[in-house]
Amino acid sequence: MDRFSQNKAPIFEALEEFRKMRVVPFDVPGHKRGRGNPELAGFLGEKCVGIDVNSMKPLDNLCHPISVIREAEALAAQAFGASIAFFMVNGTTSAVQSMILYACKRGDKIIMPRNVHRSTINALVLCGAIPIYVNPEVNRQLGISLGMSVSQVEKAINEHPDAKAVFVNNPTYYGVCSDLRSIVNLAHSRGMLVLADEAHGTHFSFGAGLPQAAMQAGADMSSIGMHKSGGSLTQSSLIVAADTINEGYLRQIINLTQTTSASYLLMSGLDISRRNLALRGRLVLQGVLELAEYARNEINKIGDYYAFSTELINGDSFFDFDRTKLSIYTLDIGMAGIEVYDILRDEYDIQIEFGDLGNILAYLSVGDRYRDIERLVSALAEIRRRFKRPSCGMLSQEYIDPVVVKSPQEAFYAEKCSLPLSQTPGRICTEFVMCYPPGIPILAPGEMVTKEIVEYIEYAKDKGSSMNGPEDLHIERLNVLKGE
Amino acid sequence: MELWFTEKHTPDVNFSIRVDQQLCSMQSDFQRIDVFDSQEFGRFLTLDGYMMLTEKDEFIYHEMITHVPMAVHPDPKNILVIGGGDGGVVRELARYQSVQSIDLVEIDSMVVEVCKKYLPFTACSLDDPRVKISYADGIKFIRQREAEYDIIIVDSTDPFGPGEGLFTKEFYGSCYKALRDDGIMVNQHESPFYPEDATAMQRAHKRIAKSFPISRVYQAHIPTYPSGHWLFGFASKKYHPIKNMNPQKWEHLGITTAYYNTKLHSGSFCLPTYVEDMLKDVE
């Protein structure tokens, strides 16, 4: 990597230059550098609202970049070892959806693990592609879904040789990676694209001792959640892609759903974060890894908690682990992860990323400090001292094989009716039911409802699992296809 | 020439002391450490620009944070001091013959070095054979202790910066665990006057009140701290700060003090109405 050129931050520099010009605005946004909205300017700060400006010649245009945005995207591509990069201003969700809209059209098949983010299945509703699900393996003790095993992917490819692409989480929310390199080789040998969801893997390209990044593993495209571990503002992300991808067509796909008023706050944040990762990422991530290792040791010393790591690597479905992720198994103190999560927030003013039935996840990144880790560890020790009880009757996560009857798009837009949950077995669901844990969809549009699934929903609801997706927020009714 | 030290007590209130000379200015891993000499307050120590102690008024703080719990506990043998690298609390504790061990946990070794060199009036007992100094984050040190101490004195800085962990519920809970069944914890409890300090004071009180069965607050007048009106927290598993205090017994020890006395002990728990109201709000 040419470190010298990575010193540049073209969008940031253009905005600094623009600020000095004191241009008189007779264009949008109407707040006119904040003057028209003093409360907002006071709240966010004048520096911030002063660069909330519209596309214009010196600042380029995200829909059709020819100057500073183009340069910034080229630098991002270089930093990630990709051929091309796209700044995304509607979250990693939009990045994932654009990848899928690029790879698939109506009726095309795409191979993916069941524990994809819901944005992935939403993309199928948009484009009409058909999901071929690969069972993620489950770690029975922890109750979390892992990566895809290579043999399962191979089986899916053999059964569906006409599939257009294979979609891979790199890593999962819990930090687990599949054997991406082998999956890439397999898919490419059968003419399929490999799309990676690196919403939680931004840092892989920049640190030592981290799992392999998608671009390095030979994937064709990857969605990068820069605002997660990369340090940019919420909602800003990237797509990076190899030279196997047609840049112009991907830009057209992105422009189908992308705003024509992209925020310069978000884009300058991407630009500056990329520069920071490229120049200082290695050192910073070394610090994050040390912090995470320290936290794991301290937490495992408390007793009963299990902060797991690379010892679970099995060469296949747990091929590698992102050691910056601090995942902690809590069931041995007799408490569900979600309960520990709530107590941490309500009683200790500590907000962690999530809690599921068996685990909590604390997100560590470029902004963490030892003193905050000490608070987390002490709070966990206190929760154990105050609340420990015998663990029993806790739900263990069973993977329920989905029966895909119709494409998500067909089911989503079809005529439907609402039925009480108990009457839905045998019908085809037209909406999502998501349950945490472990963030795997229980039902997606187009899938057959079974007795087993209804029982699982009832049980998880009873255990206080967080569920969402359906129109009926209480999940007492489900929408199913009409008249069957 | 005039040289002034200024601390902002609020964004709109300055507190200034004319300085004769600056003796030391260092940056540790945790904070900036400065020592000055002045006409009015003698030698004084600041951390990150915040007043920690002056030669002239430190006796008030150190006597009140130490003798109040020591006069209540019938037999304090093992004491833990968290923070307090200046040695002022240790100096007061070392005057009790009955004390067997004093563990001092200070996060910043440079504070202790600076105080030993420039502030002998507070650091004078740090070499007492009963004193054991650990350089660690107090919240980490206490996590690993259980039923070991009779009294814990939390001599912290402010609830922001390196000392912020010492104002948290997880810390107070850990202190509870580290105390014996009749243990007492006393802490630096901020000021009730300026709104920002008062909020921190209320938050601390709320968390302590939830962690200990007995939780009371007492006050002292400290000229160089914001507003001059300062509070301490008294949290206890068993002993009441006034009913379980034995004045004759303490007086019999023959410890001479300049601020603390047993009448003031009881009086210091009588708080102004607005402070009582603030505390009730969060109890």
Read off the CATH number of the domain in which A326 is found: 3.90.1150.10
Give CA–CA dist A203/A211, Å, rounded. 9
**Domain C-terminal end among A354, A387, A420:** A387
- Domain architecture of chain B: domains with CATH: 4-52 (2.30.140.10), 58-282 (3.40.50.150)
User: What pLDDT sits at residue B159?
Assistant: 84
Other C-beta atoms lying within 10 Å of the C-beta of residue A374: 24
**Domain C-terminal end among A357, A387, A417:** A387
Residue A181 lies in a domain: no
| CA A252 to the chain's CA centroid | 23
User: What pLDDT sits at residue A398?
Assistant: 62
Candidate list B137, B155, B158, B197, residue with the active-site label: B155
Residue of B nearest to A299 (CA): B143
High-pLDDT (> 70) share of chain B, %: 100
Mean pLDDT, rounded, for B162-183: 95
- A349 and B168 in contact by Cβ < 8 A? yes
- B169 and A374 in contact by Cβ < 8 A? no
Do A373 and A286 belong together in one domain? yes
B155 is an active site residue: yes
Per-residue pLDDT at A395 exceeds 60 = no
pLDDT digits (tens, 9 = 90+) for A94-129: 999 999 999 999 999 999 998 888 889 999 999 999
Q: How far is B104 from chain A (nearest CA, A)?
A: 19
Do A363 and A290 belong together in one domain? yes
Q: How confident is the model at residue A34 (pLDDT cuts 50, 70, 90)?
A: very high
User: What pLDDT sits at residue A358?
Assistant: 85
- Residue in the structure block whose two tokens are 């085809």: A428
Mean pLDDT, rounded, for A18-32: 92
- Give me the residue from A370, A371, A379 closest to B170, CB to CB: A379
Do A296 and A382 belong together in one domain? yes
Give CA–CA dist A430/A426, Å, rounded. 13
Mean pLDDT, rounded, for A321-341: 93
Q: Strands A84-88 and A237-241: what pairing?
A: antiparallel
Mean pLDDT, rounded, for A338-359: 91
Residue of B nearest to A301 (CA): B144
| CA proximity to B44, closest of B66, B22, B63 | B22
pLDDT digits (tens, 9 = 90+) for A62-79: 999 999 999 999 999 999
Portion 147-206 of B in contact with A at CB < 8 A: 162, 164-165, 168-171, 173-174, 177
Burial level of A26, CB count in 10 A (0-12/13-18/19+)? exposed
Contacts B171 to A, Cβ<8 Å: 378
Residue A475 lies in a domain: yes
Do A447 and A373 belong together in one domain? no
Do A380 and A444 belong together in one domain? no
Q: What's the pTM?
A: 0.89
User: What pLDDT sits at residue B48?
Assistant: 95
User: What pLDDT sits at residue B21?
Assistant: 97
Question: Does any CB of chain B come closer than 8 Å to the CB of residue A352?
Answer: no
- ipTM of this predicted complex? 0.88
Contacts A375 to B, Cβ<8 Å: 139, 165, 168, 170
Residue A190 lies in a domain: no
Q: How confident is the model at residue A472 (pLDDT cuts 50, 70, 90)?
A: confident
Q: How far is A345 from chain B (nearest CA, A)?
A: 12
For chain B, the straight-line distance linking the first and the last C-alpha, in angstroms and rounded, comes to 51
What letter would DSSP give residue A171?
Answer: S
Name which of B135, B160, B164, B170 to mutate to probe chain A: the one with the most chain A Cβ atoms within 10 A of its Cβ. B170
Contacts A298 to B, Cβ<8 Å: 140
User: What pLDDT sits at residue A355?
Assistant: 87
Q: How confident is the model at residue A154 (pLDDT cuts 50, 70, 90)?
A: very high
Residue-range definition of the domain harbouring residue A413 = 408-481
User: What pLDDT sits at residue A352?
Assistant: 95
User: What pLDDT sits at residue A55?
Assistant: 92
Do A299 and A368 belong together in one domain? yes
Contacts A370 to B, Cβ<8 Å: 137
- In A385-444, at which residue ranges do the beta strands (DSSP E only) sit? 416-420, 433-436, 440-443
| CA proximity to A375, closest of B182, B207, B44, B272 | B207
- Residue in the structure block whose two tokens are 């995304």: A88
Do A347 and A377 belong together in one domain? yes
- Give me the residue from B140, B162, B169 closest to A348, CB to CB: B169
Do A378 and A297 belong together in one domain? yes
Contacts B162 to A, Cβ<8 Å: 371
- Give me the residue from B142, B162, B177 closest to A371, CB to CB: B162
Residue A270 lies in a domain: no
User: What pLDDT sits at residue A380?
Assistant: 98
User: What pLDDT sits at residue B193?
Assistant: 96
Do A292 and A376 belong together in one domain? yes
Query: Which residue type sits at A334?
Result: G
CATH number, domain with residue A413: 3.90.105.10
**Domain C-terminal end among A387, A421, A446:** A387
The region that residue A86 occupies, defined by phi over 0 for left and psi between -120 and 50 for alpha, beta otherwise, is beta
**Inter-chain CB pairs, A–B, below 8 Å:** 48
Question: Does any CB of chain B come closer than 8 Å to the CB of residue A351?
Answer: no
More confident site: A440 or A215: A215
- B169 and A382 in contact by Cβ < 8 A? yes
Do A316 and A366 belong together in one domain? yes
Q: How far is B84 from chain A (nearest CA, A)?
A: 18
- Residue in the structure block whose two tokens are 């790879």: A103
pLDDT averaged over chain A?
92
Q: How confident is the model at residue A399 (pLDDT cuts 50, 70, 90)?
A: low
- A349 and B173 in contact by Cβ < 8 A? no
Residue A315 lies in a domain: yes
For chain A, the straight-line distance linking the first and the last C-alpha, in angstroms and rounded, comes to 59
Residue A244 lies in a domain: no
Query: Which residue type sits at B209?
Result: A
Contacts A381 to B, Cβ<8 Å: 143, 170, 174
Residue A47 lies in a domain: no
Do A333 and A378 belong together in one domain? yes
The Cα-based distances of A163 to A11, A44, A111 in angstroms read 39, 48, 7
Give CA–CA dist A392/A87, Å, rounded. 48
Residue A296 lies in a domain: yes
- B168 and A348 in contact by Cβ < 8 A? yes
- Give me the residue from A298, A348, A370 closest to B170, CB to CB: A348
| CA proximity to A11, closest of A379, A276, A272 | A272
Residue of B nearest to A380 (CA): B170
**Which residues, in sequence order, are CB contacts of A406 under 8 Å at separation 6+?**
A414, A428, A445, A446, A481
User: What pLDDT sits at residue A461?
Assistant: 80
Do A304 and A378 belong together in one domain? yes
Question: Does any CB of chain B come closer than 8 Å to the CB of residue A386?
Answer: yes
Based on the structure, what is the number of domains in chain A?
A: 2
Residue of B nearest to A386 (CA): B173
List the single range of A201-210, A459-468, B140-149 with lowest mean pLDDT.
A459-468
pLDDT averaged over chain B?
96
The Cα-based distances of A63 to A126, A265, B144 in angstroms read 21, 16, 57
